[in-house]
Amino acid sequence: MTVNGNKPKFAMYWAASCGGCEIAVLNIHEKILDVDANFDVVFWPVAMDAKYKDLEGMEDGTILLTLFNGGIRNEENEHIAKLLRQKSQILVAFGSCACEGCIPGLANLSPVGEIVNTAFNTVTTDNPDEIYPLTSFDVPEGELQLPKLVPILRPLDQVVEVDYYMPGCPPESHQITAVIDLVIKVIRGEAELPPKGAVIGVGDSTVCDECTRARNVKMIKEFKRIQDIAPADPALCLLEQGIPCNGPATRSGCQARCPQAGAQCIGCYGPAQGVLDYGARLMTALASVIDAKAPEGIEKILDGIPDPVGQVYRFSLPGSLLKANRAAWRVKPN
């Protein structure tokens, strides 16, 4: 971290996320030296000590590039998202959580009270006195506060304006490298930024397009879980083998890592170009391979997908049209 006022400033923040995006950034190996050589890292809570106060004290637009990962789950996330929007020239929704909610977004299937209860008072947590965290507590030194949870998790663009989207759980290293190279070129005046709102570090097709598995006419009599097929044919399309693979709806850019390694695509790169609702596209794809015409036969095949919402919205529930389960919406404040 050099202290050099002339270098463009860089920030990275995590909201409701796992930290994998940070690891992915570090996973670009020696390229990280280019980041350091070209940027002055001013705010990156995972990697360096920085106070929110410092950020609040900056002039608007001070930071050139902010990679924001994580969804907006509590008031602190929201506050920092708004603050970083104000202080940054380019705000990138980095990773699946910031783009469309990702795994933490599946919590939108439950009311927030239930989530808290599960975390603090279930068989895995012995809490006979039903003690729950308070959002504020008075101590002799003053009032201590914890950020309040908000009813549903929201992707970054439902809270602030986002300049670019970079999906993936996490984004692939080679894609991060390409984006960093591009930004450095832009700084030097050798390239231009993509149009605002663009999805960057991705392909413009689907995972199936990058997948080398052979595709024939897909019609299946049964959906099966991958662990129940031993072994899956390594050269044949997984969907054709009855494994619900999310490739047909998912944006390319990962070089079809999972199908190439023998596992089905689970959709971390989000909706393909032009897809409004990821789950809807996947429903269309999955329904079209079902080899049955009578409702009973179709239902029987569909029984092979034990968790339909989790299957079609694993990474994209908060970014979908419905966004959350009705029960989560219906939570009303006192």
Partner 1 sequence: MPENFEPTIIGFTCNWCSYRAADLAGTARIKYAPNVRLIRMMCSGRLDPTFVLRALSSGADGVMITGCHPGECHYMEQNYKALRRYLLLQRVLKGMGIEPERVKLVWASAAEGARFASETTLFVEEVRKLGPLHWGKFQTSEGERRKDESSSFIVHPSAFEKELPA
User: Which spans of this chain sit near partner 1 (rule: CB under 8 A)?
Assistant: 75, 109, 111-114, 116-117, 121, 132-133, 135, 148-152, 154, 158, 276-277, 279-281, 283-284, 286-288, 290, 292-293, 295, 298-299, 302, 305, 307-310, 312-313, 320-327, 329-334
Least distance CB 178 / partner 1 (angstroms): 31
CB nearer partner 1, residue 36 or residue 75: 75
DSSP, collapsed to helix, strand or coil, labels residue 7 as coil
How many whole angstroms separate alpha carbon 77 and alpha carbon 331?
20
Least distance CB 308 / partner 1 (angstroms): 4
Q: From residue 60, how far is each of 84, 86, 159, 218, 247 by CA, in Å?
A: 9, 6, 18, 54, 41
CB nearer partner 1, residue 179 or residue 290: 290
Quote the DSSP letter at residue 233. P
Least distance CB 153 / partner 1 (angstroms): 11
CB nearer partner 1, residue 67 or residue 301: 301
Q: Count CB neighbours of 284 within 10 A.
A: 13
How many whole angstroms separate alpha carbon 166 and alpha carbon 160?
16
CB nearer partner 1, residue 184 or residue 283: 283
CB nearer partner 1, residue 52 or residue 132: 132
The counts of H helices and E strands in the chain are 13, 9
CB nearer partner 1, residue 202 or residue 249: 249
Give strand pairing partners of 201: none
Helical packing angle, 173-187 and 31-38, nearest 10°: 30
Query: Which residue, chain included where needed, has tokens 């914890």?
Result: 146
**φ and ψ of 214, to 5 deg:** -75, 135
Least distance CB 22 / partner 1 (angstroms): 26
Q: Count CB neighbours of 47 within 10 A.
A: 14
Least distance CB 12 / partner 1 (angstroms): 26
CB nearer partner 1, residue 110 or residue 175: 110
Query: Regarding beta strands 136-139 and 142-145, do their DSSP bridges make them parallel or antiparallel, or are they unpaired?
Result: antiparallel
How many whole angstroms separate alpha carbon 232 and alpha carbon 99?
32
Least distance CB 313 / partner 1 (angstroms): 8
Burial 207-237 (b: 16+ CB within 10 A, else e): bbebbebeeeebebeebeebeeeeebeeeeb
Least distance CB 131 / partner 1 (angstroms): 10
Structure tokens at 232: 């899956």
How many whole angstroms separate alpha carbon 69 and alpha carbon 312?
22
Least distance CB 314 / partner 1 (angstroms): 12
CB nearer partner 1, residue 34 or residue 114: 114
